[in-house]
Amino acid sequence: MDALKTKKAISKVFDDPAQQLFKPRGRILFLKYFVLVFFIVIGVRFWYLQVVRHDHYVKQAENNRIRDIPIPAPRGSILDREGRILVDSRPTYSLLLYQEDMTNKEETVRVLTEKLGVDKDFLLRQMNTPGSRSRPIPVKTNVKESDRAWVEAHELEHPELKVELQPQRRYPHGEILAHVLGYVGEISEDQLREPEYDYCRPGDVIGQAGIEKSYNKILMGKEGSKRVVVDSRGRVIEQLEEIPAIAGQDIVTTIDIDIQLVGEQALSDTGLNGTVVITDPQDGGILAMVSHPSYDPNLFAAGIKPSDYAKLVNDPKKPLRNRAIQDRHPPGSTWKILMATAAMEERLLKEKQAVVCGGGISIGSRFAQCLGSHGGPDVQRAIEVSCNGFFYRVGLMLGIDKMEKWQKNFGVGIKTGIDLPNEIKGIVPSREWKKKEYPSDPKWRDGDTINAAIGQAGVRPTPLQMVYAISGIGMHGKFYTPHVFKEARKSENYPQILYEPKVKDLHLADETWKNVTQGLWRVVNGSGTARRAQIPGFDVCGKTGTAQVVSVKSGASGEQKEHAWFVGYAPKDAPEVGGVALVENGGHGGTAAAPVIKSCFEEYLRKKKGLPKETEQLAQTLSQETATNRVLATGQASTQTESRASKPEPKPSPNNPATGLRPNRSEGQRSTKPDRPAARQAREVGQ
């Protein structure tokens, strides 16, 4: 009975469909379905690989055999106005990393850092740049012979490393002209997203500052390539074709390297930081632009280390900043030229019109001093002796609204449009400016006006704006946009590109021009503060300025050491050269800044006359050629002195016997201090 029940139970199990696999027939059926599904999966996979991904794998397989190697295009050279090299490119041995041939990243990094001296942070940054896996990346330039030998000896173990000749930027003058020329570097991810770089690819080396950046497209050229057959280790077996690179165009600048070198030396001789700009007033060309301290752009050409770059960025003296277009300072008494011109153009001031000095002016309960007693000078005399009392009253005649209008007309407080990157606007005061800067005391007051009239109360132009403005006044109201580009030379692949001057003409009245320029001539050639800028026979016109700042010396016990300004042009009747010098913490403009511009103007004149570089011979030649002019100039000055004999003159002082004025106090009002709120300034002058 039990045996029968067991048999029925076994039969029931095998009759269950779920148990059919245990039967031989079920196992065969399962195997058939399994094989069918397997081949279906394999077939779909083959279809995906051979049809859907066909192009991808063909390209990948081809790349294992055929490789396109980029050929960098040499950048065009940058030349001075006489064709002398300022920047060029030279072939140097560079260590390249082909990441597609790299089998062990950690080992490659170890070898490059420990054996070949590559900075690890720099290396990892290069390896992670966009497009770095599809093209060789330079990890070390100026490779030594020992490094080349090591790479060749380990070619089998490290086929990803190659040493090849590549063009590298060379700046033969080092720190000189660095802020004008700029430097190069690999394009960043952010730059690749900008429309202005739509012609660039990952890994391209582009201009990052100065002319290199402004004219990158002209200088860059077009990359070439060569198609080669390589083996499994990346070694070239055969070259199939080559598309040569097209070098960029050479650019001729307006820079004169001789004048630049003189400016560099003259500013260095002061032992202080600052800037010098020399221009051609007749078309706006920049003949020289000095900015101290500077930096060596060759550091960037060779691939600057992060630590070196951090030092430049964090240096408190800011060597990367172009002080000519990126610094703004109170202009001191140089600002008075703009005020005199504006007042005469508005017909508020006429030729020979006497305006009382009064030793200063009363505003409310306070008295703003003029550090001299000038009687009732006319505009020429007021410019010559830098009479604050005169310009306080001229400022009140104009009022802040007319001041603002003429500041913009003269191109101050707005960008000049120079073809260098990162120019700033500068600051000029206005009603809106005060409301924004000093919301606790937003009302514009007379005390603000008289301060603004002498270059205080928030007036902060750039040095380039000052030479642009005063050279334009000397040109009878023709203001030429400053520029450093002169031409791009014609080549086999590119046409010539010439600079077209841009000019704004204010058509200054003859009376305005005559009186202002004569006043500026008297500052240098009469009894003014810029006699150290005088060049006999060249009729230098200009104005000094002394602007208060906190002393450069720490712990100076409240002493203030001023910035020294001089801005001018020559000759008087038909300006050929203009210039501005700002010597930071240099003291008096006539002592520190005027001699710098004189040196640059003398170099310009030497070259114009074709004389050798010896200063003594230049001075002797000028003296011989201009003896008659000097006699006439002396006679004119004597006549002017006689005409003023009836007017009371200040008594001579030990500091300056000629004028009775203290040199460090003759440039402008000293009752206000820069960077104080306007309301506080107003209280100081009796607001």
Beta bridge partners, 242, equal 226
Q: What is the pLDDT of residue 159?
A: 85
- From the list 585, 586, 582, 587, the residue with the least C-alpha distance to 566 is 582
The pLDDT tens digits for 542-565 are: 999 998 775 444 333 333 688 999
Q: Per-residue pLDDT averaged across 525-540, rounded?
A: 95
Q: How far from 545 is each of 263, 414, 559, 584, CA to CA, in Å?
A: 19, 21, 19, 12
Q: What is the pTM of this model?
A: 0.79
671 is catalytic: no
Which pLDDT value is given to residue 22?
54
Q: How confident is the model at residue 669 (pLDDT cuts 50, 70, 90)?
A: very low
Q: Which residue of the set 94, 214, 333, 671 is catalytic?
A: 333
The three-class DSSP label of residue 72 is: coil
Confidence of residue 37 (pLDDT cuts 50, 70, 90): confident
Checking if the pLDDT of 33 tops 80, the result is no
Question: pLDDT band for position 624 (50/70/90)?
Answer: low
- With bands split at pLDDT 50, 70 and 90, how would you rate the model's confidence at 156? confident
Whether 626 has a pLDDT exceeding 60, the answer reads no
Across the range 283-306, mean pLDDT stands at: 93
Sign of CA dihedral 369, 373, 377, 381: negative
Q: Per mean pLDDT, which range of 12-16, 218-222, 523-527 is the poorest?
A: 12-16
Which of residues 26 and 365 earns the better pLDDT score? 365
Sign of the Cα torsion 513, 514, 519, 523 reads positive
Question: How many C-beta neighbours within 10 Å does residue 595 have?
Answer: 18
Predicted confidence at residue 228, as pLDDT, reads: 80
pLDDT in tens, 58-115: 665 555 577 777 888 899 999 999 999 999 999 888 888 888 888 888 888 898 888 8
Strand pairing report for 66-71 and 224-230: antiparallel
- pLDDT digit string, tens, across residues 465-479: 999 999 999 999 999
Question: Binning pLDDT at 50, 70 and 90, where does residue 323 land?
Answer: very high
Whole-number pLDDT of residue 424: 96
Residue 632 has pLDDT above 80, yes or no: no
* Residues 601, 540 contacting (CB under 8 angstroms): yes
* pLDDT exceeds cutoff 80 at 663: no
Mean pLDDT, residues 8-23: 53
User: Residue 560: its pLDDT value, please?
Assistant: 62
pLDDT of residue 114: 87
Per-residue pLDDT at 397: 96
Determine which of 99-103, 247-251, 269-273, 650-654 has the lowest per-residue pLDDT on average. 650-654
pLDDT at 4: 57
> Mean pLDDT across the stretch 146-159?
87
Asked if residue 1 has pLDDT above 60, the reply is no
Q: Is the pLDDT of residue 646 over 50?
A: no
- Neighbour tally for 662: CB within 10 Å: 14
pLDDT digit string, tens, across residues 344-359: 999 999 999 999 999 9
Is residue 241 within 8 Å of residue 227, measured between CB atoms? yes
Of 499 and 371, the structure prediction assigns the larger pLDDT to 499
Q: What is the mean pLDDT of the chain?
A: 83
Task: Find the mean pLDDT for residues 41-52.
Answer: 78
Band of residue 423 on the pLDDT scale cut at 50, 70, 90:
very high
Helix (H, G, I), strand (E, B) or coil at 222: strand
pLDDT at 631 over 50: no
Q: What is the pLDDT of residue 487?
A: 97
Structure tokens at 597: 């511009």
Residue 255 CB contacts under 8 Å (≥ 6 apart), including other chains: 80, 81, 86, 177, 180, 286, 287, 288, 289, 484
Report which of residues 184 and 67 the model is more confident about.
184
Q: Quick check: 534 pLDDT over 80?
A: yes
| pLDDT value at 261 more than 70 | yes
* Helix/strand/coil (H/E/C) assignment for every residue in 118-138: CCHHHHHHHHCCCCCCCCCEE
| Model pLDDT, residue 618 | 47
Predicted local confidence at residue 61, as pLDDT? 57
- Alpha helices of 410-462 — where are they, by DSSP H? 431-437, 446-453
388 closest CA partner among 589, 669, 684? 669
| pLDDT of amino acid 627 | 46
d(CA 687, CA 253): 51
Could you read off the pLDDT of 571-619 as tens digits, one per residue?
A: 999 999 999 999 999 999 999 999 999 999 999 999 999 888 764 454 4
Per-residue pLDDT, 56: 66
Give the lowest-confidence range in 495-499, 538-542, 664-668: 664-668
pLDDT above 90: residue 157: no
